[in-house]
């Protein structure tokens, strides 16, 4: 997790209508403390507002109760309240995320802190390396000194690359660097709803088995038309296309669609575009 030790709290937060409503509830003080602890946990995780136990494991309500030191029923009431007032969002896998996280964390400031930490560690390690070199080499071993200086430069470059990779893992799922992933996520966010952290991981997982992004997007479109825009249904469409019809690319999909359209000419009214009617696949959910 990122080395971020602070979050933003506005001085007028208790003038917010949602906080005033919470203050009228039983256990109001405890619920507000839980809210602050959630913000602190999200800041510590530094994963765009998600409440995480580790880099890959989201924190559930039972774990929150233990870690926050508050009764389980009170934590459940707090989570329900925050969700009702639009302060958090919970995805289908019960992963909790602070909404409008940018209001609670200075993104630019986070980057500055990360860079400062990196430079400080880099200088310290370089200094320690130079001291070791100074004890080991003779005064007239200029050639050796030059070689060691080169080694230090290489070590610093290596540390830069490692820090860059670490920062990328902390800020977002690794699949965000995949152009296919970005294309699929963008389509989903613009045409269905804002995708969640868990759904990002699911897209990344499914791309290993269904690598054509355009075919993936078509499955999302059909699932949405059927009113079932969830990844279990989307995965079912992709799986049936592949196993039942041998469809693994969007180009192959278009050819199958063209054949079906040709067969359906002359048939009355416009047929419904569903995975079952067009491709003869059965989705068992």
**Calpha distance 234→207 (Å, rounded):** 12
CA 77 to mean position of chain CA atoms: 26
Tokens of residue 158, six digits: 């290596």
Does 168 score more than 60 pLDDT? no
More confident residue, 112 or 237: 237
Cβ neighbours, 10 Å, residue 149 = 13
Per mean pLDDT, which range of 165-174, 193-202, 260-269 is the poorest? 165-174
196 close to 97: Cβ distance less than 8 angstroms: yes
Per-residue pLDDT, averaged over 20-44, amounts to: 93
pLDDT digits 0-9 by tens, 49-95: 899 988 788 999 999 999 999 999 999 999 999 999 999 999 888 89
76 close to 61: Cβ distance less than 8 angstroms: yes
Does 170 score more than 60 pLDDT? no
Top mean pLDDT of 1-10, 31-40, 85-94 is at: 31-40
Does 111 score more than 70 pLDDT? no
**Calpha distance 229→279 (Å, rounded):** 18
Per-residue pLDDT, averaged over 255-281, amounts to: 62
More confident residue, 267 or 254: 254
184 close to 214: Cβ distance less than 8 angstroms: no
pLDDT for res 109: 60
89 DSSP 8-state letter: E
pLDDT for res 47: 82
pLDDT for res 48: 82
pLDDT for res 283: 52
**Calpha distance 185→20 (Å, rounded):** 37
Does 164 score more than 90 pLDDT? no
pLDDT for res 176: 37
pLDDT band, very low/low/confident/very high, at 272 (cuts 50, 70, 90): very low
Instruction: Tell me the C-alpha to C-alpha distance, in Å, between residue 252 and each of 244, 247, 248, 256, 258.
Output: 13, 6, 7, 6, 10
pLDDT band, very low/low/confident/very high, at 167 (cuts 50, 70, 90): low
- Percent of the chain predicted with pLDDT > 70: 71
Tokens of residue 62, six digits: 């039972």
């Amino acid at each position: 997790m990122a080395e971020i030790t602070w979050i933003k709290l506005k001085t007028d937060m208790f003038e917010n209508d949602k906080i005033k409503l919470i203050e009228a509830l039983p256990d109001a003080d405890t619920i507000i403390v839980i809210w602050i602890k959630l913000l602190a946990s999200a800041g510590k995780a530094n994963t765009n507002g998600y409440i995480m136990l580790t880099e890959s494991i989201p924190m559930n309500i039972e774990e929150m109760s233990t870690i926050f030191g508050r009764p389980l029923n009170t934590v459940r009431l707090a989570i329900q309240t925050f969700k009702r007032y639009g302060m958090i969002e919970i995805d289908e896998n019960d992963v909790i995320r602070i909404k409008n996280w940018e209001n609670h964390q200075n993104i630019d400031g986070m980057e500055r802190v990360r860079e400062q930490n990196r430079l400080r560690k880099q200088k310290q390690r370089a200094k320690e390396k130079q001291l070791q070199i100074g004890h080991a080499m003779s005064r007239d071993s200029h050639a050796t000194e030059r070689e060691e200086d080169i080694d230090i430069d290489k070590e610093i470059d290596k540390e830069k690359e490692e820090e860059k990779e670490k920062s990328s893992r902390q800020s977002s799922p690794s699949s965000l660097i995949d152009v296919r992933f970005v294309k699929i996520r963008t389509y989903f966010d613009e045409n269905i709803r804002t995708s969640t952290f868990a759904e990002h991981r699911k897209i990344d997982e499914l791309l290993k088995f269904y690598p054509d992004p355009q075919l993936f997007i078509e499955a999302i479109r059909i699932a949405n038309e059927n009113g079932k825009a969830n990844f279990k249904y989307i995965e079912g469409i992709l799986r049936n296309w592949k196993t039942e019809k041998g469809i693994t690319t969007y180009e192959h999909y278009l050819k199958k669609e063209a054949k079906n359209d040709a067969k359906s000419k002359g048939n009355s009214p416009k047929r419904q575009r569903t995975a079952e009617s067009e491709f003869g696949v059965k989705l068992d959910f």
